[in-house]
Amino acid sequence: MQPNDLVGYVFNKRTPKLAIIADVRPGKVLLINSISAKTSKWYSFRDIFLIGSSRNFSPDLLSDALAAIPLLPSIFSTAWIESQRLIDLNLLDGGIDLISFAKLLFANPSPTDLAACWLSLANKQDLFRVRQDTIFVRSQPELQQLRQARRRQQLAIQIKSKSEVFEAEHFPAECLAEADRLVLIASECQPGDSARIDLSHLRSFSIDDPCTVEIDDAISIEHQADGIDKIWIHVADPHRLIQPGGCLDLEAQRRASSIYLSHKLVPMFPIGLGSGPLSLSPGSKKAAISVAICLDQNSCIVGVDIVRSWVQITYALSYSDADELIELAPPQDADLAEINSLLQNRRHWRQAQGALLMDQPEGRFIRMDGRLQLEITEPGCSRAMVAEAMLLAGAAVANWAKEHQLAMPFRCQAGNQSLAPDQLIDLPAGAVRWAHQRLGLGRSRLQSEAAAHHALGLSAYLQWTSPIRRYNDLLAHRQWLTHHNLIDAEPLAKELMNPLLDKLEQQSREVGQISKEDQRCCLLEWLESLKPKLIAQDGVMLRWLREDQNLALVRIESWALELPARLRDRAAPGDLLKIYVQELDPARDLLHLKATIY
C-alpha cells in the first residue's frame, strides 16, 4: 500500500468507511477520512482493505470514489446469482479478489464501482464471506443454514424479551434449591397426608402424548350399587409440597404456564419437580385432588364430590394405546370403554347446549434429534374422551364454586357472533364451516365471577386439570383448599383476585404468541428444507381475509395447516385449490402463497 490508495475500514467495528491513505509507516497507515477530508488516526494494515491502487487509477478518480454508496440489494443479489452460474460451469472455484467480484456486475469497474461493491460486502449481508482480501461465495445450503440459525436466535431473543416472565428455561438459584429439597422430602409424610382418601383401588388411566413429562391427570370409573356410575377425574396436587407465597409459587405465577416449543419445554416448575413428585406417574401412590361426578340419563351433572386423595396409576397409556383399548373393550379391561361411552353422551349433551365441536387433524412442528418434523395429530376417540373428562371436571368444580359463592378463576366466553344458522348451513360442513364459526367467537377471558362459556356449551367453567402446567389451575386448587382450611392460607376475595387474573391473562397471551412465532419459524425453515422439491399442494378455500385484495384463509390438508394465500381467481368458501409457494425467505420472515381453483 502507498499514499493516495483508496481503502476501506470498519469504524467502531460496525460502520464501513472509505478513506485515502495519507502516509505509510511499517505495518500501519494514516488515513484521510471520506467525510471530513482530515487526517485521522493510524490504522494497522490488517484493519484496512485495499479497494483501488494509485498505480492503476488517477488521484481524481480515487478521490471521487469517496462519495460512493452501497449497491442496491437487487444489484448485489445479481452478483451472487452470476457467481453461482460460474460455479455451476466450473469457471469459478474458491475465493476471488474485489476487482473480479466487481466484474461480475461491471464490464470495466471504476474506483467508484469498486468502492460501492466493497461497502455492500462490508455491510451486514449473507451472500458472501470476506476474509482479508479474498471474497468467498456462500452456497445455497450455507445460506439456508445461516438464515435458519439466525431465525432461531431471533426467536430465542423474542422469547426472552416478550416478557420478563420467560428468562429462557432458567430458574433462580433459590427456586432450584427449594425444588431439590422438595424432591428429597416428597416421600416423607406431609401435612394433610393422613386425611387423604385412599382411591388406589380404582383402576386409573393416565393418557398423554409419548413426549409428555408433566402428567397432571388421570381418570377412573366406580360402579355403585344403585347403578349410577361415578366418573373420577384425578388431578395432581402440587400444594402437598408447594407453599403459597413461596419462591416456587411466585416464580410459577411469573411464568403463568409451561411453554411447549418445537425444540424444548420451558416449564412452570423446575422439571425435576414437575415431572417427578408432582406428577401422577405410575409405580407408586401419588397425591391428588379427585373429583367424582355422577351424570343422569341426560348427561346432566347430578352429583359432585371433591376430595384430597391417594391414587395409583394402573395404566399409563399413549393416545394410540387408549384408542386400541377402547375399541377392543376386553371384558377384563372394560373400564376405559365404559368411561368413553359416558363421556360421548356428555359431549352430545354439550353440543345440544350450543357447544362448537371442531375435530380435525392439526399440524405442529417438533424437532427430534435435531431434525424438524411436521407432526399431524389426528382426532381420535381417546383424545375426545380425555378432553371431555377435563371439561367435565372444570364444569363440576365451577358449579360447586358458584353454589358456594367462592371466587375462582372462571373462564368465560361470550356468545357466537358469526353467520346466522341458515347462512352457516349453506357452507360445507367441517373445516369451512368451522372457520366461519371461529371468526365470530369472542375471546375467552378470566374473571372471578362465574359466567357462561358459550363455545363449550357450559353455564360455568374453570380450568382445573393442569396445575403443574398452568397457574390459573393451581390458583383454582388453592381456592378450594383454603375454603376447606386444608392449607395455611386464606381464600382470595373477588376484588383481590381480579388484578391477578388480568396479569395471568396477559402472560397467557404472550405465551400463545411465543408458541405461534415458534411454529411460524419452523414452518419457514421446513419449507426452505423442501426446496426445490416443493410441489403444489391440494387445499380448500375457507374464508376471505381481504376480499378486495384476493387474500383468503386456506387449508392445506396434507399439512393440516391453515394459512393465508392470494387467489388468482374469484373463489367461494369450499372451492378446491392448488396452492403454491410464491415467495419464501426465512431470514425476512417472508412467506407468500398463491392459489388457483381446480
- Please spell the DSSP secondary structure of 288-342, one letter per residue: EEEEEEEE-TTS-EEEEEEEEEEE-EEEEE-HHHHHHHHHH--GGG-HHHHHHHH
Which 8-state DSSP code applies to residue 75?
H
pLDDT of 218: 98
Residue 491 lies in a domain: yes
Number of Cβ within a 10 Å radius of residue 161? 9
d(CA 526, CA 85): 26
d(CA 101, CA 96): 7
Q: CA-CA distances (angstroms) from residue 12 to 15, 18, 50, 66, 485?
A: 7, 14, 19, 19, 64
Residue 234 lies in a domain: yes
pLDDT of 499: 95
d(CA 159, CA 565): 28
Q: Are residues 303 and 393 in the same domain?
A: yes
Q: How far apart are the first and last CA of the chain?
A: 66
Q: Are residues 287 and 391 in the same domain?
A: yes
pLDDT of 163: 39
Q: Are residues 515 and 539 in the same domain?
A: no
Angle at which helices 335-352 and 381-403 cross, to 10°: 60
> What b/e sequence results for 511-524 when a residue is b if at least 16 CB atoms lie within 10 Å of its CB, and e otherwise?
beebbebbbbbbbb
Specify the number of domains making up the chain.
Answer: 3
pLDDT of 160: 47
Q: Are residues 330 and 464 in the same domain?
A: yes
- Residues of the chain below pLDDT 50: 159-168
Q: Are residues 161 and 55 in the same domain?
A: no
Q: Are residues 177 and 104 in the same domain?
A: no
Q: Are 230 and 221 in contact (CB under 8 A)?
A: yes
d(CA 237, CA 199): 14
pTM for this one?
0.74
pLDDT of 153: 65
Instruction: Name residue 14's beta-bridge partners.
Output: none
pLDDT tens digits for range 66-79:
888 898 887 888 88
> What b/e sequence results for 369-383 when a residue is b if at least 16 CB atoms lie within 10 Å of its CB, and e otherwise?
eeebeeeeeeeebbb
pLDDT of 419: 63
pLDDT of 169: 54
HSE-up (13 A, CA, CB side) for residue 254: 20
Q: Are residues 483 and 587 in the same domain?
A: no
Number of Cβ within a 10 Å radius of residue 39? 14
pLDDT of 511: 87
pLDDT of 167: 43
Residue 265 lies in a domain: yes
Residue 503 lies in a domain: yes
Q: Are residues 358 and 488 in the same domain?
A: yes
Residue 368 lies in a domain: yes
Q: Are residues 515 and 544 in the same domain?
A: no
Q: Are residues 289 and 372 in the same domain?
A: yes
Number of helices (H), then strands (E), in the chain:
15, 25
Domain of residue 548, residue span: 535-597
pLDDT of 156: 55
pLDDT tens digits for range 473-492:
999 999 999 999 999 889 99
Residue 530 lies in a domain: no
Q: Are residues 514 and 576 in the same domain?
A: no
Instruction: Name residue 232's beta-bridge partners.
Output: 220, 292
